[in-house]
Every structure is written in structure tokens, then in C-alpha cells.
């Protein structure tokens, strides 16, 4: 059973699983597919038209949200344009964060307060975005990366790194994030060695001798997909 506050507005065309909490004054649009056991606090807006000059007066596009997500007050999630705005499972979006049109978020990501993610960007598994980080449209933030607060992400962010600044640049391996993902200290040394081999050259990534190599391969695939959207 879903718990829906009487002031919430849910379009009759929206789809919803079970065990969701929809708080006061939330809005869920017609093309939203919401999974189960999500918690939306007050004033969350999901599935409005894209914040794009060509779509302001168009019908809102698709949004698909998985299960077990925490979405706090005043979060906005726009509908897609050429695709579907997609959020996986067990993500946390804190107060005032924004996901633009066609954004794709994997699983187990964390968005701190006031994080802004531009259209068509991709946030991969376990990524952590600090307070007021801003992600330029058409960018990839790799798996288990940590983006520091107030950072301006103008280029793709590698998996597994701590990155910060304006422009945001990799600084070191995200040891805390990797340990939280279930790795041990011995495994972390493999990532440290991989990072040293990068030597500041981020377009030709060395092989990571670990099962997390799959996240590097996903990162490269996602970059290629975005280049196609941009026509490059």
C-alpha cells in the first residue's frame, strides 16, 4: 500500500509500485513510472517538461524511477526529451537537488543538497556528489567517484576518484567510497597502482586488474553514447 498525502498531485496516468510514501505538495506527472518503497518528502516534483527552450510548452517526457530511493524536499526531476530520465535503486537525493532531462542515474548514488545535474548527463553506480556540485550537461561521472562540494564538473569524471575544484579535476583514489562498496585494503592497492599509471592522461585508461574493470568499460561506453548525441 502507498501512503499519499492529501495535498500531493499524482496524474492519473502515472504508474506506481507499492510501499511508497508521497509527502505534502508533491507532484508526479503523467509519464512517470515509480517503483516500490520510495520516499518522497514535501514539494518533490517529478516528470515536468524538460527545462529546455524547445520543450517548455511540450508535453512532459518519460521518467522511470526504481525502488528504495530517498528523495528529499524540493527535489526536481524533469521528463526526458529524446529518451527517458532514469533513476535506479537505493539512491539518495537531498534537499533542492535537480536532475535535468534525459539524465541517467545508476544505483546507490548520493546527491547532497543543491546538486545540479545538466541534461543527458550520466551518474554511474555508487557516485557521491557533494554539496552544491554542478554537473555540465552531457557529462559522465564514473562509478564510485566522489565530487567535492561547490565543484564545477565541466569534463567527465573518472571512476574511483576523488575530484574537486572549478574546473573539477581528479585528485586521488576514493578510498572511502571503495571500502564502502565492499572492497578490502588489499584491493585498494590495486586501484592506487592503477591511478599512478594514469599519470594525468585521462583519455587512455590503463587496465585495472580487478572485477571493477567493468565500470571502466561502462564509463568508456557512456562517453561514446554522449558523443553520438552531440553529433561528434
Q: Which CATH architecture has domain 3-230?
A: 3 Solenoid (2.160)
* Domains in the chain: boundaries: 3-230
pLDDT at 232: 61
Percent of the chain with pLDDT over 90: 93
Q: What is the arithmetic mean of pLDDT over 113-122? A: 98
What integer pLDDT is reported at residue 200 of this predicted model? 81
Q: What φ, ψ does residue 192 adopt, rounded to 5°? A: -60, -45
pLDDT above 70: percentage of residues in the chain: 99
pLDDT in tens, 84-98: 999 999 999 999 999
Half-sphere exposure of 2 (CA within 13 A, CB side): 20
What is the pLDDT at residue 135? 98
Given a cut of 70, whether residue 182 has pLDDT beyond it is: yes
CA separation for the pair 73, 205 (Å, rounded):
39
Amino acid at each position: 500500500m502507498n501512503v499519499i498525502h492529501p495535498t500531493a498531485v499524482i496524474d492519473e496516468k502515472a504508474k506506481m509500485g507499492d510501499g511508497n510514501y508521497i509527502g505534502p505538495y508533491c507532484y508526479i506527472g503523467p509519464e512517470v513510472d515509480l517503483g516500490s518503497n520510495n520516499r518522497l518528502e514535501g514539494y518533490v516534483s517529478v516528470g515536468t517538461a524538460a527545462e529546455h527552450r524547445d520543450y517548455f510548452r511540450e508535453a512532459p517526457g518519460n521518467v522511470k524511477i526504481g525502488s528504495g530511493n530517498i528523495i528529499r524536499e524540493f527535489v526536481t526531476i524533469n521528463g526526458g526529451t529524446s529518451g527517458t530520465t532514469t533513476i535506479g535503486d537505493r539512491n539518495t537525493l537531498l534537499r533542492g537537488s535537480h536532475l535535468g532531462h534525459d539524465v541517467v542515474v545508476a544505483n546507490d548514488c548520493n546527491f547532497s543538497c543543491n546538486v545540479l545535474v545538466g541534461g543527458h548527463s550520466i551518474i554511474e553506480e555508487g557516485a557521491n556528489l557533494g554539496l552544491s556540485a554542478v554537473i555540465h550537461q552531457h557529462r559522465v561521472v564514473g562509478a564510485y567517484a566522489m565530487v567535492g562540494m561547490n565543484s564545477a564538473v565541466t569534463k567527465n569524471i573518472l571512476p574511483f576518484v576523488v575530484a574537486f575544484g572549478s574546473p573539477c579535476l581528479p585528485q586521488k583514489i576514493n578510498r572511502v567510497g571503495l571500502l564502502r562498496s565492499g572492497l578490502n585494503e588489499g584491493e585498494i592497492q590495486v586501484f592506487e597502482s592503477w591511478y599512478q599509471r594514469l599519470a594525468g592522461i585521462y583519455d587512455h585508461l590503463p587496465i585495472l586488474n580487478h572485477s571493477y574493470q567493468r565500470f571502466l568499460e561502462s564509463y568508456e561506453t557512456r562517453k561514446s553514447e554522449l558523443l553520438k548525441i552531440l553529433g561528434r
